[in-house]
A = this chain, B = another copy of it.
């Protein structure tokens, strides 16, 4: 395996140590070295936003702890949901008395451990709610949205709900806002080539040289189908048709757009892909508002990308533009 690391057992510790040393003006570890929290937490009155997730997908979610997004991240092992007691610690440590919203990206382990953590926290008398996030249209059919996986479109929730939390909204309002963002969001991804697991040193899946796979999950979970490698124009056209039909999105709608790179797909490609997305939206009479483009939810050096749309409602544009100060979110 050609990666620049130390022993497999120390990867997570080394990574967190490096991250916290680099960004001490944003974050610190709490009493537990696997809980990354803001170094200057807000005073009482702000609802805390917390997530637990397996690492290996950087910059998410550690890179989003800071003003305008997360209050704490419970860092699990590589590609593994953190245990419920670790998530519980992140909840405890970040609670400033106004309650905690635990974000859960819908994957089996994250749901089980996250819901258990919420139950344990509530038994301790803490005011905690879970928000289930799902957006990947390839993982369950229309009408079964609540069975879908969490994918890159969850980013809209982190940013919009995070901004509103900063403004002092209540836990109930934030949960409702998160559900509204989720219900207006759709994502579809395309896997191009596998990443290498830092634990096994092996490729995480395989694909023929002339094929890409629509809708694969971040760990190689099955999605829609494989298609022949084609031009950006043809690939994006097929993906956009599926996404636009799913909500559906209509002419005269305005949407937030996120083109996420999964690891080794170049920014050159992401800009070419965005150009096709913008062209498609324009042709449909749909307006794109300040897209986000870059590598945010990765699977090591996997090649691939996803397209996420979020239909703008009420204050979505204002919250999208609201100040954010974290090391790895920027447009």
User: Contact residues of A with B, CB < 8 Å?
Assistant: 2-7, 11, 14-19, 21-23, 25, 55-56, 58-59, 63, 190, 192-193, 198, 209, 212, 229, 231-233, 235, 263-276, 278, 288, 290-291, 293-295, 298, 300-301, 303, 305, 327-328, 330-331
**Copies of the polypeptide in the assembly:** 2
Q: Which residue of B55, B209, B270, B275 is within 8 Å of A21 (Cβ)?
A: B275
| CB pair B272 A6 closer than 8 Å | yes
Q: A4-B272, A235-B4, A271-B18 are in contact. Are A301 and B303 (CB under 8 A)?
A: yes
How distant is A61 from chain B, measured CB to nearest CB, in Å? 12
Bound together, the chains give a CA A223 to CA B272 distance in angstroms of: 32
| A55 cross-chain contacts in B, Cβ below 8 A | 268
Contact across chains for A5 and B231 when beta carbons are under 8 A apart: yes
Instruction: List the B side residues contacting A209 at CB < 8 Å.
Output: 2
Chain B residues positioned under 8 Å from A301 (CB to CB): 264-266, 301, 303
Which of B233, B235, B293, B330 is A22 in contact with, Cβ under 8 Å?
A: B293
Per a CB cutoff under 8 Å, which of B15, B265, B293, B327 touches A272? B15
Q: With A and B bound together, what is the CA distance between A19 and B212 in angstroms? A: 24
Ordered by A's residue number, 9 sampled pairs between the chains whose C-beta atoms are within 8 Å are A2-B212, A4-B273, A14-B275, A18-B271, A19-B274, A55-B268, A267-B298, A301-B301, A328-B330
